[in-house]
Amino acid sequence: MPDPKALGRESAPTTHGATVQYPRRRTHHLTGFLSFIPHTHALTHPTCNPTPTAAATRSEGNHSQLPGSVPPFPPIPTPSQRRVPDPPLIITQLITTHIYSPPPPTPMLASGLRNVARRPGCCCCCRISPFSAFAAAAVAGTTATASFNLSRPVSRSFVAARASQSARMASTTTSLPRIPLFEAISRHDPESTAVIHSLSGRRFKYGELLGDVRRTRNKLLDSAGKSDLNGERIAFLVENSYDYVVTLLAAFAARSIAVPLSPAFPAAELQYILNQSEASLLVSSAKFAAKAKEVLATELLSSPTQVELQKHLGGSVHERVELDNSDADGAGMMLYTSGTTNRPKGVLLPQSVLTAQSKSLIEAWNYTPADHLLHVLPLHHIHGTVNAVLTPLLSGSTIEFMFPFNADAVWKRLAAPYITSNGTNGTNGTNGVNGTNSTNGTHKNIAKEKITFFTVVPTVYSRLLATHKLLPLDPAEPTREAVSPRNMRLAISGSAALPTPIKEAWKTLSKGNVLLERYGMTEVGMALSCGLDFADRVDGSVGWPLPGVEARLVDMDTGSVIPPGEDVDPKSGRERSGEIQLRGPTIFKEYWRNPEATAKEFVEGEDGKGKWFKTGDVAVRRPVPNAGLNAAQASWAKGDMYFIQGRKSADIIKTGGEKVSALEVERELLSLPEVAEAAVVSVPSGKWGSKVGAVVILNTDVVPHWSPMAMRRALRDRLVNYKIPQVLKVVDHIPRNAMGKINKKQLVQAVFEDQFSGDEL
């Protein structure tokens, strides 16, 4: 017989309570890998292996024995010696399930072994921890010494239950839950591009996405030391990239709640979110690992496990990933409100809600695999995540990340397809020959791919317009072609009110491409939108309720519903404004760990069809001639259009018994040539209750100074007297958050503190 060590095994004593040294080398062959398993039980169980004798040396297929040595395999007990029916077969099945289903490459084998190695538990009548030691050794390719401590036989039902649990665990590591997003991705052309990094040119195909998601999900499970993260919160700090997409989807695949964090947040803000969300993991890319460690060093109510992920470089082979029917109800995303009116609240968006939001947008805005979206938004808000990541992925579009936003870089990227190799303008709608070079901020391999879809906030359009004036003539004309209607099929503005001058200036620059306005918020996704026809993109309007969304207006004074067609008070002749209330499958589930706030924001419907969410935003409805006539969108884009007046808590100013919409006054201020930026706020007044205050940044090219009286004269023909601001502050800067929103309560405190009085103009 050959030497046992030549077989890659160590000899094993056969006395009770002995230790066993398992294979030194890793083997991927099923027979070789499992060949030692039937003997482990006999090795240590007192009733199965009494004091061994020479006669016990494998009479039923036993090996011969070298003189003076022990057998390379311990003897097998006879059926009469066994107290538990065939436990080795059960063990063999468990191992086969963990490691060989489906037949894996080396990384898959290692993943399966790790799952066995890290899980304590029982198998047959012995603790599985010795076998776990073997699995860990197999991963490392080393020799393991395992002590078997057997105490009692167990029932067949116990063994079956443990086998079932192990089978479920093996399924979790080799497949993904069957959610609509994963189903859609699996059906997309595997060779089509899912994500591009604009500056580096790295691209990632749909065919590699789910494989990367599965591997990352398994790393999260391993890091947590669990086979299931159902409903647990996974917070993550990852830059705008393919890595962000994989991390977000991996959290879904783990059936957990993804909590994306902004790397721009200070440690105190991140600390608040980690505490409030009760995150069990804090995942980071290498770029933000130090930031993650910084926040973990603060005083946290519980310390999440830190996980650092490796960067994906692309180029993975297409990998078919099985989808199982496991329950994924615990999966979802939690975004935090902007906190412009109150402390940020965690908004829980289950998978069903995220899917409904995306499907609604696909129907309304016609996302297709032909779309190429340029992504310049932060990824901790609903706009950047649902509109510009999840919905494009569901529809098979391409997402190109270019973050942080840089106006010059965006213009160069937009123009690149329309600049030929000799520098001439390709303004006939065709792509340039060789794209662009490294000096224009865009990688040459993607420069010829035109951008068809652009969704940003008003401040981005404002900065693009300002920088476009400074561009040389040669790139200026290609940029106009790039954003024209025949190339950029959809340009959207949201997250804040769009000033009329910006909308008009963009229309002129883009050769008639009218910006589409919509209305949404963290709790509801997108709720209202103008239509795709230019006639449906009415200035100041956010359109109609999107597919699947019900909307109504409720009078703020009486609490009564304002029926459609009764939007004008018959006595006063004035428009009736009301709070927007919404319901449908796109509405969030709850505020995390805040049942009081959740209950406060919902009201039961009188028709028994479900609760309405109170948005806190005020609007009016108006009929608009020639709008809502597109037959292709007739199922939703029809009837009176909605016009937002502002937040009930911050933008509706009650002064002297009258109600003033701050957004309406801001719109008129911004239409004046003297004003570059404006914010209208409610200033406490002893005489009027509140007075209308204006904070403006002047266009110094037009006027160096501006007095309150000059402002009133300029607005006299535009607004009724009680709507004209009574106090004015000229400033150099108006603070905004990442989505361009202003915290008006803080602004009032900072700017008008000395004017909280009864003295008015």
Are residues 621 and 642 in contact, defined by beta-carbon separation less than 8 angstroms? yes
Write down how long the chain is: 761
CA of residue 222 relative to chain centroid, distance = 22
**Residue that is last in its domain, among 303, 336, 369:** 336
Strand runs labelled E in 342-416:
346-350, 372-375, 398-401
- Work out the percent of the chain whose per-residue pLDDT is above 70: 72
- Mark whether 184 and 318 lie in a shared domain: yes
Mean pLDDT of the residues in the chain: 79
Q: Would strands 652-655 and 658-661 be described as parallel, antiparallel, or unpaired?
A: antiparallel
- What is the predicted pLDDT for the residue at 757? 46
- Mark whether 130 and 206 lie in a shared domain: no
More confident residue, 548 or 699: 548
Question: Does residue 749 sit within a domain?
Answer: yes
What's the CATH number where 221 sits?
3.40.50.12780
- Mark whether 207 and 158 lie in a shared domain: no
- Mark whether 136 and 239 lie in a shared domain: no
Question: Does residue 603 sit within a domain?
Answer: no
Question: Does residue 62 sit within a domain?
Answer: yes
Q: Residue 612 and residue 605: Cα distance in Å, rounded? A: 6
Cα of first residue to Cα of last residue in the chain, in angstroms, is 108
Question: Does residue 246 sit within a domain?
Answer: yes
CA angle 491, 626, 516 (to 5 degrees): 10
- Mark whether 185 and 94 lie in a shared domain: no
What's the CATH number where 683 sits?
3.30.300.30
Mean pLDDT in residue range 317-336:
90
- What is the predicted pLDDT for the residue at 447? 60
Q: Residue 353 and residue 490: Cα distance in Å, rounded? A: 24
Task: State the angle between helix axes of 37-44 and 87-100 in degrees (0 to 180), rounded to the nearest 10.
Answer: 140
- What is the enclosing helix (H) or strand (E) of 134? helix 129-140
Amino acid at 505: A
Question: Using only C-alpha atoms, what is the Rg of the chain?
Answer: 33
Question: Does residue 45 sit within a domain?
Answer: yes
Would you state the torsion angle of the CA atoms of residues 498, 499, 502, 503, taken in this order, to the nearest 10 degrees?
Answer: 60
- What is the predicted pLDDT for the residue at 701? 82
Q: Residue 10 and residue 6: Cα distance in Å, rounded? A: 9
Phi and psi, residue 103, nearest 5°: -55, 120
Q: Residue 388 and residue 393: Cα distance in Å, rounded? A: 9
More confident residue, 624 or 124: 624
Are residues 418 and 482 in contact, defined by beta-carbon separation less than 8 angstroms? yes
- What is the predicted pLDDT for the residue at 216? 97
CA angle 599, 605, 607 (to 5 degrees): 160
DSSP string, 28-85: --HHHHHTTHHHHHHHH-TTTS-S--GGGS-TTTPPP--TTS--SSPPPPPGGG-SSS
Question: Does residue 685 sit within a domain?
Answer: yes
- What is the predicted pLDDT for the residue at 580? 98
DSSP label of 261? -
Chain segment 341-388, per-residue pLDDT in tens:
678 899 999 999 999 999 999 999 999 999 999 999 999 999 999 999
Mean pLDDT in residue range 724-735:
92
Q: Would strands 332-336 and 322-324 be described as parallel, antiparallel, or unpaired?
A: unpaired
Positive or negative CA dihedral for 105, 106, 110, 113?
positive
- What is the predicted pLDDT for the residue at 45? 40
Mean pLDDT in residue range 681-697:
87
Band (pLDDT 50/70/90 cuts) for residue 35 is: very low
Q: Would strands 257-260 and 332-336 be described as parallel, antiparallel, or unpaired?
A: parallel
Question: Does residue 629 sit within a domain?
Answer: no
Mean pLDDT in residue range 305-323:
90
- Mark whether 159 and 207 lie in a shared domain: no
Q: DSSP 3-state assignment of 667?
A: helix
Mean pLDDT in residue range 231-252:
98
The 3-state secondary structure of 170-187, one letter per residue:
HHHHHEEECCHHHHHHHH
- What is the predicted pLDDT for the residue at 443? 57
Q: Residue 650 and residue 602: Cα distance in Å, rounded? A: 20
- What is the predicted pLDDT for the residue at 104? 40
**Residue that is last in its domain, among 308, 336, 364:** 336
- What is the predicted pLDDT for the residue at 753? 72
Among 32-41, 68-77, 452-461, 747-756, the range scoring the smallest mean pLDDT is: 32-41
Band (pLDDT 50/70/90 cuts) for residue 215 is: very high
- Mark whether 264 and 162 lie in a shared domain: no
Task: State the angle between helix axes of 407-415 and 473-482 in degrees (0 to 180), rounded to the nearest 10.
Answer: 70
- Mark whether 97 and 151 lie in a shared domain: yes
Cα–Cα separations (whole angstroms), residue 214 to 187, 209, 227, 261, 349: 17, 9, 13, 22, 22
Which distant-in-sequence residues (6+ apart) come within 8 Å of 607 by Cβ? none
Token pair recorded at residue 600: 């406060």
Band (pLDDT 50/70/90 cuts) for residue 327 is: confident
The residue behind tokens 């829980």 is 348
**Residue that is last in its domain, among 336, 367, 398:** 336
- Mark whether 171 and 265 lie in a shared domain: no
Among 64-68, 236-240, 554-558, 649-653, the range scoring the smallest mean pLDDT is: 64-68
- On the question of pLDDT at 167 being above 70, the answer is no
- On the question of pLDDT at 542 being above 70, the answer is yes
- Mark whether 25 and 157 lie in a shared domain: yes
Number of folded domains that form the chain: 3
Q: Which residues pair with 415 in a beta bridge?
A: none
Q: Which alpha helices (DSSP H) does 494-544 contain, by range?
A: 500-509
- Mark whether 738 and 710 lie in a shared domain: yes
- Mark whether 282 and 171 lie in a shared domain: no
Are residues 98 and 170 in contact, defined by beta-carbon separation less than 8 angstroms? yes
- What is the enclosing helix (H) or strand (E) of 162? helix 156-174
Mean pLDDT in residue range 78-100:
39
- On the question of pLDDT at 26 being above 90, the answer is no
Question: Does residue 536 sit within a domain?
Answer: no
- What is the predicted pLDDT for the residue at 55? 39
Q: Range of 692's domain?
A: 650-761
